[in-house]
Every structure is written in structure tokens, then in C-alpha cells.
Structure 1
């Protein structure tokens, strides 16, 4: 009789234990879901930011690609005109010779444009490989190097570069900046934009009005360090701040805020070199 009375109690205990296990599993699933959701948001933001960067970078080579297309069309037109000249007994040898010269000139210009674009892409890959190889494993944790459409992006973490809550360069950043400076000096035909970024927490210092000020001051500190300490030509440097308005992660989490507090060193071929090249286009054939 006593054993019969114990059966409901044992059964009830089993139900309670099963319920505890289910609740724990449910909590683990909730945590995993939250982490995956946060990671998905970060990847989505990074993808969108990369798309914006790609769009901006494409504008640098757009003129070259348009010129290449235009010159190829011009070659086709010149070839058609030459064929007509050859098929017509009324055309003189002088006109034929002139068309041949124009075709050769256009073909040479197309090759020049293509070589310029390929050279730029190749140099950027070499630049990136040289920089990545020079960084230690510890430095690579604070430095992210990417090449997007012919532009090299070096992203430096806030904790590595600056003293806490300040725009002053920290002592521990010196070795990393020296390696970046050497790369910049080795590739003297490239311009360098230093771009500061913050999270969305308002700054609370009397001498800094807002995150625009903070991001610009931090970029300026890096520029002046590269110039004064590592002898980078200041004519090649530009400092800019984007405040909190260029995030790559969700500002609702500490990890996301940390990713957004960064400084980017953007290395690009000098635009005037491309413009000069485009300006050397051969004259169009007379109509």
C-alpha cells in the first residue's frame, strides 16, 4: 500500500525534472538565437557598407572603362571606313593611309588604358600582401586589410590606436603605424585618406562638441603622426571624420559599438594620373 502511494510522487518528480531540462534547453536556444540574430545583423550591415564602398570605388575606374568602350567603338567605325575606302576605286591612297594611322593610334590608346587599370589592380594586391605579411598575429587582431575594386582599406581598431576616451595616439600603436607608414612611403604614387568613425554614444567632453569632432580629431591625429613621426609626405594625406554615420555593425551591442569605433586608412591611386591619361586620348577621326 505504501509503495502504491509513492508511485504518483515519483511520477510527479520525473515530470518536474523533465520540465527543468526543457526550460534549460529553451534558454540555451534563446541565447543561440539571439547570438545568430546579432551576427546576421552585423553581416548584413557589413555587406551594405561594402556595397556602398564598392559603388564609390567604381567611380574611379568608370572613366577608364567608358574610354575603352568608346575607343573600341571608334576602331570599329574606322575599320568600316577603311573597308569602304578599299572597296571604292575613287578613294585616294592618302585617305587610306590616314585611316590606318588613326586605327593604330586608337588601338594603342586602348592598350594603354587597359594596362593602366591592370597595373593599378596588381599594385594594390602587392601592397596588401606586403602589409599583411609585415603585421604580427597580435596586430592582425586589431587591423583588417581589404582590397575592394582597386582601393586598399586598412581598418584600425579604436582600442589599439587611441588612449581611452581620447583622440591622442597611444604608445602601443607606434609599431603598427610605423609598418603602415613604410608601405605608404614605398607606394609614393598613391594618395591616402584617413577616415575616423565612432559609435552612436554622444561624446561628453567640454572641448569636443560631438562625434563629428571626435572622428575628425582622431583622423587628424593619425595624419599628423604619419607626417611628423614617420615622415610621410603631407601632400599625399587627407584627414576626414564620418562621426557615427558610417557603421559596419549594430550599435545596440557592446561588440557592435567596438567595431564601429575605428579609423580607416584608404590607399588609392592618384586620380590626376588617370585624368592625365584620359586627356591623352587620340583625336577622333574627321567625319
Structure 2
């Protein structure tokens, strides 16, 4: 019986020793796992530090390169500055007369720039006056067919083209009653601008005159007589200043359409009033600035 108790006690003791050893083993395993994790973290931290150190080294190398380049630029600027100072020293050999000439040249550049701006202002003013004149003429004449009268601006010059079928009978240089009415409206606008000068041009097609019509022998004569007829009406009937007018005949030699068609020939038979540009104003500008 005692032997049985002894055996049981021994077994109990062995069981207790076995349990204690197993718990310690598991605890040690946990410690090892924890230390392994910390070691991994420290390894990663060390690698990050190494990477950061390498990046800083690269940046430092780049900055050193930039510093070297800046030093080269400073040396180049110093060299250029030295050269410029030497050139300035060399300029001391220029005589006072040459220095004054240089100064006058610079002053002239400023005057020329102001002169160009003045011309541009005058040109813009002239263009505005031309457009106002065109609008006034169109307003005064009213709703005439564009084939009978055309008012336009080309290259800074105002043109008033009046079809000869409106002004004259075929082959004649006598002004029709309706033409006098139209010319009266044109005269009203032109008289409001007393500084304007204009030229009346007669134009024909290329068809020869059939026989002599009074003093007319050819298209030259016809174009001139028609131009002078218009000028005389403007002067005698509407009081235009004859010193502001000129009459010219162009004959058939300035066509604006094809003379091989009836429509073209009709377009070419016209009287043109050319509002002359006031060149004397620009000549005065040139004289003043020269």
C-alpha cells in the first residue's frame, strides 16, 4: 500500500516539473519572437538611415556642383567687368567734339520718334475726317442706286463715282436736271469743308464717237468737256470756290470694268470726284521737323 502511494507521489512530482518547463519554454519562445521583431524593425530603421544618408550625399554633391558653376559665373562676370572698365577707360580718348556729336545723334533719335508719332496722329486724324466725309456724302445724297453713284475711300483718298447716265445724255456733255440736284447735294457737303480741294475726272468707254458732236472729236474731248461741265455747275450754280477745283479728262484709258460687255462699258462711262489729300499739311510737318 505504501508502495502505491510512493508511485503516485512520484508521478505527481514529474507532472508538475513537466508543466513548469513547458510554460518557461513558451515564455522564452515569446521573448525570442519579440526580439526578432525588434531586430527586424531596427534593421529597417538602419536601412532608412543609410538611404537618407545617401540622399543627403547626393544633394551635397549637387550643391557643390552648383557652387562650382556659380563661382565660374562670378569669375566670368569679373572678367567682363574688367573688360568693360578698360573700354570705359579707353573712351577717355574721345574728344569733346565727338562726345557732343554722339549726344546730338541720341537727341535726334528721340526727335525722330516724336516726329513719327506726330505723323501717325495726323494720318489717323485724316482717316477719321475721310470717313466722316463719306458718311456725310452718303447721308446727303440719300438712297440712290449703287450703280448710279458710289462713294468710297481707297488708300486715304475719297472717291465719288457718278454714272454718266445720271449726269448726261448719250454722247452729250450737257448736265441733266436730275444731275444738278445730285451735284447740289454733293456741293453742300463739300462747301462745309472749305479747306478741301478736289478734282473732277471725266471717263468714257472705248467706243468711238459717231461723227463730230459740236466741238467733240473723240473720247478725250468728251471726257474733258464733261468734267468741265460738272466744275462749272459746282462753281456757277452752287458757289463752289474755283480755286479749290480742277477738271481733267481721262478718256477711255482708266477703265474699271471690261469694255467688251455692255455692263462693263456702262461702268466705265462715269464722272469721278476725287477729294485730294491735303499734302501741304504734311509738307509743313516735314519742313518743321527737318
Normalised-by-shorter TM-score class: 0.5 to 0.7
Shift of 1:140: 4.2
Contact 2:149 2:160 in 1 (8 A): yes
2:139 corresponds in structure 1 to: 133
Inter-CA distance 104–266: structure 2 relative to 1 (3 Å threshold): same
Determine which structure has more spread, i.e. the larger CA radius of gyration.
2
Shift of 1:218: 0.2
1:277 corresponds in structure 2 to: 285
SS in structure 1 opposite 2:115?
helix
Shift of 1:111: 1.7
Shift of 1:223: 0.8
1:118 corresponds in structure 2 to: 124
SS in structure 1 opposite 2:264?
helix
TM-score by length of structure 2 reads 0.61
**Cα distance per residue 1:34-55 (max 9 Å; x no partner):** xxxxxxxxxxxxxxxxxxxxxx
**Cα distance per residue 1:28-82 (max 9 Å; x no partner):** xxxxxxxxxxxxxxxxxxxxxxxxxxxxxxxxxxxxxxxxxxxxxxxxxxxxxxx
1:191 aligns with 2:223: no
Give the gaps of 5 or more residues in structure 1.
1-83, 283-287
1:237 corresponds in structure 2 to: 245
Contact 1:199 1:261 in 2 (8 A): yes
- Measure, in 2, the Cα distance between the counterparts of 1:237 and 1:257: 27
2:51 corresponds in structure 1 to: none
Shift of 1:143: 0.5
**Cα distance per residue 1:182-230 (max 9 Å; x no partner):** 2222223322011101111212224211110000000001111111111
1:217 aligns with 2:219: no
Shift of 1:253: 2.3
1:259 corresponds in structure 2 to: 267
Contact 2:141 2:186 in 1 (8 A): no
Give the gaps of 5 or more residues in structure 2.
1-86
- Measure, in 1, the Cα distance between the counterparts of 2:203 and 2:268: 7
Q: Alignment length, in residue pairs?
A: 198
RCO higher in structure (CA 8 A, sep ≥6) = 1
Shift of 1:103: 4.0
SS in structure 1 opposite 2:251?
coil
Shift of 1:276: 2.0
SS in structure 2 opposite 1:242?
strand
Q: 2:186 aligns with which of 176, 180, 184?
A: 180
TM-score by length of structure 1 reads 0.62
RMSD: 2.6
**Cα distance per residue 1:227-268 (max 9 Å; x no partner):** 111111111111011111111222222222211110000112
- Structure 1 window deviating more from structure 2 (269-278 vs 96-105): it is 96-105
Shift of 1:98: 5.1
- Measure, in 2, the Cα distance between the counterparts of 1:247 and 1:276: 35
- Measure, in 2, the Cα distance between the counterparts of 1:268 and 1:207: 30
SS in structure 2 opposite 1:202?
coil
